[in-house]
A and B are shown apart, each in its own frame.
Chain A
Amino acid sequence: MISDALLLGLGYNATLVTLGAMLLGMAAGVGGTFLFLRKRALVSDAVSHATLPGVGLAFIIMVALGGDGRSLVGLLLGGAVSAGIGLLCVSWLSTRTRLAEDAAIGAVLSVFFGFGIVILTVIQSMSAGRQAGLEGFLLGSTAGMLRTDAIVLAGSAALTLLLVLLLRRPLTLAAFDPEYASASGRNVTRIDLAMMGIVLAVTVVGLKIVGLILIVALLIIPPVTARFWTERTDHVVMIAGLAGGASGYVGAATSAALPNVPTGPIIVLASFALFALSLLFAPGRGVLSSFLRHRTFQKRVHLRQGLLALAQNQPIYEGLTMRLLKRAGLVLADGVPTDAGQARAAKAMLDEARWTIVRGDHSYEAAAVLYDGLTDLETLLTTDQLRDVDAQLARPQGVGA
């Protein structure tokens, strides 16, 4: 069943929704990257919660005008309007009053959501028999969607993705260096506005697919995931788009196969799985690779200290050092150095002496700053410089040239 769904074998509507979720995930991943770089990731949480009263009011208005109130486009438009008002409230509270942005986000989120719930209970009482199914907007539900709705969703997800891709250059610039952006003649306020517009679009399109409580995850988790793999913005944008798209696709397909499970949580968990994999296994910043790097460094330090101890005929008590020396064939089982061990130890001693000279001489400043007790001097100095250092070594210390 699930494999059917992953291969898009569940019929035309489910396929459309799945593709729509994928496009939405890509748009959210790419758009979310700029929010993340701007350190404003949680603004989207306020925006998404603020859609609820709009959706409810749109339903009431449509019913009052004689419709059945279920038109998806109408509901989403209502959501967009109240989300826009919520966004204005956040920026008004955080710029015109003394409240910090996080407090403004929390206030708008909870008040709009609370008001939305009041509206939902009004709807429940006014049309008891024909429940509007507005609960589907809380956690996303793509089961039993109308063909036209599926087309609208897939189409608007594609449009959002296109918009993000078109705006990515100015967005990158403003995310990294707002001062430079405005000095080079760009209107940063307008770029920020465009960024919020994208967040708004992602949120509104995602209402039916992911649900308003969890849409924020789609804007935050893929960029954070991507950040583990690369240090370059354009790559972060790309990887975030891929991660978002993959989780949208897998999540929506799985939920099409399991109709009583809300779509949003599955998409979020799929995207968290990608995040967890990256956290553990990404090269460079991942946990595993940091651990390995730490181990390698530890081994080099222990080996070096062991060799210095051998050279000075000091006993070695530390277990790890002894094991490393034995494994490298530098000492015998009873702790007596082999010939190779003797040679390496003498070399380590010589290097220490050379380093002392290099660090005491201003003409080697460039090399001296790289001193960490481990680097081989041959990799930093030329043969001529080494010969000069060795010449100083041979001279009695403390006598000038």
Chain B
Amino acid sequence: MSGAEFVPLSLTPMLIGIFVAMACALPGNFLLLRRQALIGDAISHVVLPGIVVAFLLSGMVAALPMLLGAAAAAIISVAAIEAIQRLGKIEPGAAMGVVFTTMFAGGVLLLEQSDTSSVHLDVEHALFGNLESLIWLDALGWSSLLDLDALSGLPVELPRMAGTLVLVGLFIGVFWRPLKISTFDEGFAQTIGMRTRPLGLALVVVSAIAAVAAFDAVGSIIVIAMFICPPAAARMMTNRLETQVAWSMLFALLAAVSGYILAGYGPLWLGFDASVSAAGMIATMSGVLLALAAILGPHRKRT
């Protein structure tokens, strides 16, 4: 395939897919070890009403109000889960189930009742996103990567996701030791004077930022898959946290690249002329990788 075709049509969606996968898998490692793996699932459901309300208030599909709305919804949901758990003495899983289904239902209803037909905002988009549409029309070939005019036409999602990945990476890097200690032995972390509650909250907030930024670009399904599958597969490969994070980055990269290529070109190889959902395919590939790791991984068993 020539650069003239690949760079404008496939390079940016593929890069965005890779950034999303890595930005979600990175905090996912810690969430998995802390038994909070389903937080990604909950976040991606509750941001829908936030985005819809932001759209209704601001009247446009712009990044900033939507991010604010999504963040507000995420905060409300965390508070609601906590409140229901405390007030009703309900176990966390059930409290989470109550909140995220209700908020998602509210979001869907708002969406269906309001006039959003003129803009690109519907439930399907929120679920699957539209990775394929994030193309770079100004590019003519590999040389465009050095062309400032063409670079200014890059889809905004690309720098935004890259920024999110850097932010998430910085957070994990800076707080590596406290995160590691409090994840494996919270009691010990507290006795040496660490404030584990704010740290845990910060981890959730960073995950929410990654989820919301990714949600905007690629829909919720990749987000949920990437929070869980690459770290889970990496968990089967090693007992060391450092190695696990490295493996999870590799798996996230593999899933994003192979999923995107299979979705875009797989049907062509089989003789069909249409492509399939890239978001769905990336999620599927992360599942295939997890299955392989669960069958063959050297540390797949509990010891």
- The reply to whether B280 and A115 contact each other, CB–CB distance below 8 Å, is yes
| Cα–Cα distance between A10 and B279 once the two chains are bound (Å) | 41
B274 to chain A, nearest CB (A): 3
Tier of interface size on chain B: 35 or more
Query: Which segment of A16-24, A264-272, A331-339, A374-382 sits at the interface?
Result: A264-272
- The reply to whether B301 and A279 contact each other, CB–CB distance below 8 Å, is no
| Cα–Cα distance between A249 and B113 once the two chains are bound (Å) | 21
Known: A98-B235, A98-B236, A114-B281. A269 touches B41 (CB 8 A): no
| Cα–Cα distance between A290 and B276 once the two chains are bound (Å) | 54
| Cα–Cα distance between A96 and B300 once the two chains are bound (Å) | 8
Chain A residues with CB below 8 A from B102, complex form: 217, 221, 268-269, 272
The answer to the question of B249 belonging to the interface, with a C-beta cut-off of 8 Å to chain A, is no
The answer to the question of B127 belonging to the interface, with a C-beta cut-off of 8 Å to chain A, is yes
Known: A39-B93, A42-B96, A97-B301. A135 touches B124 (CB 8 A): yes
* Interface residues of A, Cβ cutoff 8 Å to B: 36, 39-42, 45, 93, 96-100, 102-103, 105-107, 109-118, 120-122, 125-126, 135, 138-139, 213-214, 216-217, 220-221, 223-224, 227-228, 260-262, 264-266, 268-269, 272, 275, 279, 285, 287, 290
- The reply to whether B274 and A125 contact each other, CB–CB distance below 8 Å, is yes
Chain B residues with CB below 8 A from A285, complex form: 88-89
B154 to chain A, nearest CB (A): 26
| Cα–Cα distance between A221 and B95 once the two chains are bound (Å) | 9
- The reply to whether B124 and A111 contact each other, CB–CB distance below 8 Å, is no
- The reply to whether A109 and B112 contact each other, CB–CB distance below 8 Å, is no
- The reply to whether B228 and A106 contact each other, CB–CB distance below 8 Å, is yes
- The reply to whether A111 and B287 contact each other, CB–CB distance below 8 Å, is yes
> Ordered nearest first, which 9 A-B pairs have the shortest CB separation?
A114-B283, A111-B287, A117-B280, A217-B101, A125-B274, A110-B225, A265-B105, A268-B105, A220-B97
The answer to the question of B108 belonging to the interface, with a C-beta cut-off of 8 Å to chain A, is yes
Q: Which of A115, A138, A290 contacts B284 (CB 8 A)?
A: A115
Q: Which of A110, A111, A265 contacts B109 (CB 8 A)?
A: A265
- The reply to whether A262 and B282 contact each other, CB–CB distance below 8 Å, is no
Q: Which of A103, A114, A262, A290 contacts B225 (CB 8 A)?
A: A114
**13 interchain pairs, CB-CB under 8 A:** A41-B91, A97-B294, A98-B303, A107-B232, A111-B283, A112-B287, A118-B277, A125-B272, A139-B123, A220-B94, A228-B88, A261-B109, A261-B113
Chain B residues with CB below 8 A from A111, complex form: 225, 229, 283-284, 286-287, 290
Other contacts beyond A102-B35, A110-B221, A217-B105: 17, CB < 8 A: A41-B94, A98-B299, A98-B303, A105-B38, A110-B287, A111-B284, A111-B290, A112-B287, A117-B128, A117-B280, A120-B280, A125-B276, A139-B108, A224-B94, A269-B102, A269-B109, A279-B87
| Cα–Cα distance between A221 and B98 once the two chains are bound (Å) | 6
The answer to the question of B200 belonging to the interface, with a C-beta cut-off of 8 Å to chain A, is no
B84 to chain A, nearest CB (A): 7
Known: A113-B221, A114-B279, A138-B127. A224 touches B98 (CB 8 A): yes
Chain A residues with CB below 8 A from B32, complex form: 103
- The reply to whether A39 and B91 contact each other, CB–CB distance below 8 Å, is yes
| Cα–Cα distance between A125 and B272 once the two chains are bound (Å) | 9
Q: Which of A97, A107, A217, A227 contacts B229 (CB 8 A)?
A: A107
Q: Which of B87, B232, B280, B301 contacts A287 (CB 8 A)?
A: B87
B79 to chain A, nearest CB (A): 14
The binding surface of chain B is classed by DSSP as helix
| Cα–Cα distance between A335 and B276 once the two chains are bound (Å) | 83
| Cα–Cα distance between A112 and B94 once the two chains are bound (Å) | 22
Residue of chain B at shortest CB distance from A44: B97
| Cα–Cα distance between A272 and B300 once the two chains are bound (Å) | 40
Residues from 249 to 296 in B contacting A, C-beta threshold 8 Å:
263, 267, 272, 274-277, 279-284, 286-287, 290, 294
Residues from 176 to 232 in B contacting A, C-beta threshold 8 Å:
221-222, 224-225, 227-229, 232
- The reply to whether A266 and B280 contact each other, CB–CB distance below 8 Å, is no
- The reply to whether A269 and B235 contact each other, CB–CB distance below 8 Å, is no
The answer to the question of B90 belonging to the interface, with a C-beta cut-off of 8 Å to chain A, is yes
The answer to the question of B17 belonging to the interface, with a C-beta cut-off of 8 Å to chain A, is no
- The reply to whether B280 and A221 contact each other, CB–CB distance below 8 Å, is no
- The reply to whether B281 and A118 contact each other, CB–CB distance below 8 Å, is yes
- The reply to whether B124 and A113 contact each other, CB–CB distance below 8 Å, is no
The answer to the question of B120 belonging to the interface, with a C-beta cut-off of 8 Å to chain A, is no
Known: A106-B41, A227-B88, A285-B89. A115 touches B301 (CB 8 A): no
Q: Which of A105, A117, A220, A265 contacts B221 (CB 8 A)?
A: A117
Residue of chain B at shortest CB distance from A270: B105
- The reply to whether B97 and A217 contact each other, CB–CB distance below 8 Å, is yes
- The reply to whether B282 and A97 contact each other, CB–CB distance below 8 Å, is no
Chain B residues with CB below 8 A from A125, complex form: 267, 272, 274, 276
A336 to chain B, nearest CB (A): 43
The answer to the question of B302 belonging to the interface, with a C-beta cut-off of 8 Å to chain A, is yes
The answer to the question of B22 belonging to the interface, with a C-beta cut-off of 8 Å to chain A, is no
The answer to the question of B142 belonging to the interface, with a C-beta cut-off of 8 Å to chain A, is no
The answer to the question of B37 belonging to the interface, with a C-beta cut-off of 8 Å to chain A, is yes
